[in-house]
Amino acid sequence: MVPAYDITRAILLLRGHRVILDAELATLYGVSTKALNQAVKRNAERFPEDFMLRLTRAETETLNRSRIVTSSQKHRDPRFPPYAFTEHGAIMAATILNSPRAIEMSVFVVRAFVQLRELLSSNKELARRFAQLEARLDKKLAAHDEAIAAILSAIRQLMHPAAPKRRGIGFTADLNAKK
């Protein structure tokens, strides 16, 4: 048995979809990649675009350079880029293979996708709460900035006091005074 945690490590994000590559899925279902792909081709009508993607040459090269993908992908015939199955595509693949192992492992595949979905939703909630905290902190900092600016202004005024008015020494007559 393969725990859902190990399967989640095989799930990749590709073109905005969480997918598992055909070689990984074939290994989980206990068949060869060739047998899986032949079964998919025989049942092409069961795999619409949102169930299965065909990788481009550039995506395949990027994955081959990645350390995440198993080494078996590097020796794959470059004329046939791998398929990537979404959650629904992986379940559909189990139904067309119709082997006891495929049916048994499909449950683990679904659990892995669900586990990833829950993890992503909890991360979104955490990001939302963090944004709220930042907004509150920004408001508090703005209020503190105003208070600090007022304190600095008061200190500057104290550093440069206005010259005190002094009375002149001796008798001075106010010549402009009205009589």
Q: Which mean pLDDT values do the consecutive 10-residue runs of the chain (179 residues) have?
A: 63 86 88 90 90 87 64 59 88 82 77 78 74 78 80 81 72 65
CB 26 within 8 A of CB 93: no
Question: pTM of the full predicted structure?
Answer: 0.55
Burial per residue of 95-117, b for 16 or more beta-carbon CB atoms within 10 angstroms, e otherwise: eebeeeebeebbebbbebbeebe
Q: What is the longest distance spanned by two Cα atoms in the chain?
A: 122
